[in-house]
Structure 1
Amino acid sequence: FLGDQYLSIAMPGRMFKLAFDDKGLHPRMLSRSLEDAGTLLSVLIPWNTCGAYHTTVLGVPTLEYAPYAFLNYLNPLVAIAMTYMGIGIFWRGKDGEPVKGGKTRPADLV
């Protein structure tokens, strides 16, 4: 996670952009993947800007509110499960528009 949420979104986003393009996935899939893990989990890391901000505003140390952050832990797991089941997959259409599909790319887009 590189210590800050902005780096954990920007660097993997640039690294995996070509891989998502090669697979024919719409860019919103990459964006959603980065959001599912990077943004929600960042508040649980005490030394990054989100963790420090929430600790200061709430007056509660990160390790004290971490056991109650169910959404932050469950969201990446639910995202992986939904992707595995083919729910909410968007493929890049012929004109670049998002096309909703399942686990495999629709035949008319190949």
Structure 2
Amino acid sequence: MTGTVASTAGSVALSVNESSHGADSTPAIECRDDFPGDRLVGQTSSYLPLRFDCVLDDGSTHPSSPGYSWINTLIAVLALAAVLLLVAKRHLGEPVKPMVTAGADREESDGCS
């Protein structure tokens, strides 16, 4: 799981790097593949949630890849599962200690006091 998140975050970083360096870098190639060039004005990125969006001339943003939406959902589900498991471990993992009464000590003595 960690490898998937790291590779997806690396994909966002690579898209940001490619779209900000070199000739013919803006708009990003990911955006040029999906939208007409005369409507593209830029791109935005985010690491939380993972996202690389294309910005159109009307101000709307559209995801450059549908993969980011499912990986964000997977991260949220796994985080929730981790929290629930932690809470369950805290509540169910504590063993119940037997109560010791004062009379129990007398029964164990040999009676020679």
Please say whether Structure 1 and Structure 2 have the same fold, judged by a TM-score greater than 0.5. Answer: no
Higher Rg: 2
Q: Whose strand proportion is higher, 1 or 2?
A: 2
In the superposition, the TM-score normalised over structure 1's length comes to 0.31
In the superposition, the TM-score normalised over structure 2's length comes to 0.31
Q: Whose helix proportion is higher, 1 or 2?
A: 1
